[in-house]
Amino acid sequence: MPTIGAVVFSLRDRTHLTECLKSVAWADEILLLHAGGAPEIGGGEFPSLRIRGIRSLAEAKNHFGEIGTDWVLQLWTEERVDEDLARELRALCQDRAPNASEYRIAVRSRILGEWVEGSVSGPSPALRLSRKSEEMPLGWWDEGRSVPRLARGWIEDYGCSELGRAVERVQDLSDLWAEHLREIDSPPGPMSSVFCSLKIFIKMLFRNRIFSRGIAGIALSSLASYSVLLSGAKAWEAGHVGVKRRA
């Protein structure tokens, strides 16, 4: 029967790490990639877990080959797989002729005591399940590809359950995305980043029926759009401001 593994990307905030790992403890393999050194996970609670400390996206890519399962699920450490999604993933593994080699999964965030569809780390549904894992999730910078969606279940994001930590998370994500944007052939310019940020803000408001989620929906939309604007600005700064200073 086909197997499934989970790659969990962890930044400096480890508040939700244990809950994240518990939600995928049923997986055949779990690979935890932690930026800033490897966190300690004791007690042998997750026998299939391997932990690797990384310093950059480029270094993370060196470890993707360690997952040997047929399917790979990608999560951030603030996220959890709910029971419906876990059942859906296990059912997919029993299907020997799936419809696709990649799937998008619905994501919702806990913010200001409400569930709001979407996340600062990317759209909903997000491309998180594939036959292979080659790079970290690029979130809002990877919306274009048409990929089918799993029918049931959610990835539940608790990274915005405390707004102070949510702002720190935006900073960390924007650093990772800026690093990626600097490596591509045509990185977005300042105006492109601004328009993309505005588009995401409006899109999230409409997906959550504008003001039906109240301030929670507006807050999440603002954080998501800011994460895109900030990553684009950081990438542009690294390629232009530094050059001007050296000149």
Token pair, residue 224, equals: 């998501």
**Looking at residues 38-61, what average pLDDT do you find?**
74
- CB proximity list for 98: less than 8 A, separation 6 or greater: 92
Give per-residue pLDDT as tens, 155-195.
999 999 999 889 988 998 888 888 878 877 777 788 888 99
Q: What mean pLDDT, rounded, does the chain reach?
A: 83
- pLDDT of 245 > 50? The answer is no
Share of the chain above pLDDT 90, in %: 38
Nearest to 198 by CA among 167, 232, 234, 164: 232
pLDDT surpassing 70 at residue 136: no
Positive or negative: CA dihedral 239, 244, 246, 247? positive
pLDDT in tens, 8-48: 988 776 678 889 999 999 999 999 988 765 566 655 678 88
Question: Taking 50 as the threshold, does the pLDDT of residue 243 lie above it?
Answer: no
Alpha helices in 24-162 (DSSP H): 57-61, 83-94
Half-sphere exposure of 233 toward its Cβ, with a 13 Å CA cutoff?
10
pTM here? 0.87
Longest Cα–Cα distance of the chain, Å, equals 60
CA distance 124 to 176: 20
Q: For the segment 107-125, what is each residue's pLDDT rounded down to a tens digit?
A: 999 999 999 999 998 889 9
pLDDT for 97 equals 67
Provide the pLDDT for residue 133: 66
pLDDT band at 244 (very low <50, low <70, confident <90, very high): very low
User: Average pLDDT for residues 205-226, to the nearest whole number?
Assistant: 80
Among 62-71, 174-183, 233-242, which range has the highest average pLDDT?
A: 62-71
Name residue 108's beta-bridge partners.
117, 156
For the cut 70, the answer to whether the pLDDT of residue 130 exceeds it is yes
DSSP 242: H
Q: Is the pLDDT of residue 241 over 70?
A: no
User: Does 210 score more than 70 pLDDT?
Assistant: no
